[in-house]
Each structure stands twice: as structure tokens, then as C-alpha cells.
Amino acid sequence: MGAGFASTERFLAELKENRLRPGYVFAGDEVFLYERCRKAIFKVLVPPEMRDFCFSELDLSETNIFEALDLARTPSLMAPFQVFFIRNVKTLYTRGAKKQEFAAIEEYFRSPNPQALVVFVADHLHIPADPRRMSLDDKNRYERLRETLGEWCGMVELARVDETDALRWLNGQAKKREGEIDGDAARELGDGMGADMMRVAGGLDKLVLYVAGKRD
């Protein structure tokens, strides 16, 4: 599989096998892969009845990194494990060197809370299906992430999915739903959606409902 699917598959395997690192960076703006990882985290680590106690979504434009890390460091009296999604990571890379902020991040990950998972959501960069086509600005953003947060966290690349992987995913999903999709139909669906996986997935759902209706 391509970069996007391969990176998320590695993360999902670590989650399933209980080999998680204390922190991850979700780098890229591919919403389909982000939602895939997020839903898997919720399924494994965030029981519905405990969500209010074990899940926090923080925005660095509203909560500074020091407060976010203090929350991650503090054990919960109500939940055995906590998950923190930290958004607006780009604020760590604007207006100054942010030496104190990165020192605090290093201090936390040198002795992380073993009962917490911290996910930095870096959706301010775009990773194309072919990384060689990444813009210079996005390359620089990615390298800064890798050289800073990547020192302590696993990097999960949410890259756009190429046509081949989109078709493979379509075929796999069709089989899971006890059906199959014709090769030409799969290519037409993928081409029509421009390999935008959110739209491809939505198109498949509509197709499944249509076929089910025809059978009825």
C-alpha cells in the first residue's frame, strides 16, 4: 500500500497489539485516514460510558501546551486510561522559537504518564500520494515536526491515497460486505471522486444501499 495507508496500518497494528508509544503526531490533512485512526482509538481506549472522564480534545489556540501537558500528566480518579487529542499544533511553530514549550514537551515525554496517550493533530500540512510532489513549505513543516515532536512521538503520515490503493480499498470493503464490485465500476467510482477517500467511501455506501434496494 501507499504511504498513507501503510503508515496508518502500522499505527493500527500497534494499537491492536497494545504496543502504543506515549505520544503520536498525526501529520497531514487526509480526513479519511484521520477518522480511521480516531475511531480505532475510541473503540479500543475510550469506552462510550467513560468518554467524559477519559477523553479530552484540546486546542492550542485556547489552551497552552503547559496546561495540556499538566492534564496529561495528572492521573484520572474516574478512568484507568486517558486519551488527549491536541489540535492546532501549528501554533507551536509560529512567532518565536518556543524553546520553553518544546522543553516542556521533552520533559513530559522523558517521563510520560503510562496511563495516557497524547495525540498531536498536525493537519496544517498536506502530504500528496507521491511525497516527491510535496510543496517546499509542507516539506519544511514536516521536517520541523519530525525534528521536534518526532523525537518523542511516533509519526503517522496522513497522506492522500493514490488511485491504486483507493481501488484496493474499494474491493476489500465490498468483500467485507459480502459482495463485490466490478473493476470498471471501482475505477469509475475512484476516478469520479478524484481518489478523495471520504467521497469514495460515501460513494460506496450509496452503491451498497442501491444494490440492497434492488435486491429487495
Asked if residues 182 and 211 have their Cβ atoms less than 8 Å apart, the reply is no
**Stretch 172-199: mean pLDDT, rounded?**
57
Q: How far apart are CA 197 and CA 1, in angstroms?
A: 14
Its sign, for the CA torsion 178, 184, 186, 189, is negative
For residues 110-135, average pLDDT: 94
The model's pTM: 0.83
Q: Are 24 and 120 in contact (CB under 8 A)?
A: yes
Q: Which residue has the higher pLDDT, 203 or 94?
A: 94
Minimum mean pLDDT range among 13-17, 30-34, 104-108 = 30-34
From start to end of 49-187, where are the E strands?
A: 55-59, 82-87, 116-122, 154-157
Q: What is the distance between the alpha carbons of residues 172 and 47, in angstroms, rounded to a whole number?
A: 28
Which cell goes with 170? Answer: 474499494
- Helix axis angle for 163-176 and 183-192, nearest 10°, is 120
Place of cell 514537551: 105
